[in-house]
Amino acid sequence: MTKSNNEWVPEVGVECEYKTNPANNDWIRCKVIFITRFGSYLVEVCGTTEMLLPRRAEFRAIKTEAEKRRDEQIEDLALTLISNSRGSVRDSALARTLAVAVIDSGYIKPKRLTDQDIDLLLKNHWYVLGVTNRDFALAVELYVRGELGL
């Protein structure tokens, strides 16, 4: 797999994705069967064979699960930036650029904690402090009533 003019170029035998319309974001999964000496690609798609002209097709490697999760995080953050920016971020391209910068700098969206997660965290916290289950139950009751802060 090589790059040519900043575009990913597949080799024979590689499974990848392609699209023929730059304005469209529908990628089609294929397997490269043959590359002509003129740079055209013979690909297999769903059991049929297609010829793709080099200037009309854009190829990319199939995304890993980690890459798919990263893309989802970027899109979520971009939408959040647009909806919560009070009008300062109206452009979706700018929001996406900012989201990529934030994600690439190490930001990880925290997962939403369930009641079970919170219960486990509290139990572990109190266990480390040497608190018994009975004391823990009393502490939770006091916390719920607002008489105990963590």
Which CATH number, 3.40.50.1110, 3.40.640.10, 2.30.30.140, 1.20.1080.10, labels domain 2-61?
2.30.30.140
Residue 148 pLDDT: 59
Residue 1: per-residue pLDDT: 46
pLDDT at 102: 84
- Name 40's Cβ contacts closer than 8 Å, sequence gap at least 6: 51, 52, 53, 54
Give the per-residue pLDDT at 30: 94
Contact of 18 with 27, CB cutoff 8 Å:
yes
pTM for this structure?
A: 0.51
CA 40 – CA 115 distance, rounded (Å): 57
**∠ CA 6-107-120, rounded to 5°:** 140
Tokens 């002509």 -> residue: 36
- In angstroms, the first-to-last Cα distance of the chain is 55
Q: What is the pLDDT of residue 134?
A: 64
Q: How far is CA 150 from the centre of its chain?
A: 34
Q: Where are the domains of the chain?
A: 2-61, 65-104, 115-144
pLDDT < 70 positions in the chain: 1-6, 84-90, 109-111, 113, 118, 121-143, 145-150
Asked if 30 contacts 14 with a C-beta cutoff of 8 angstroms, the reply is no
pLDDT in tens, 79-98: 877 776 665 666 777 788 88
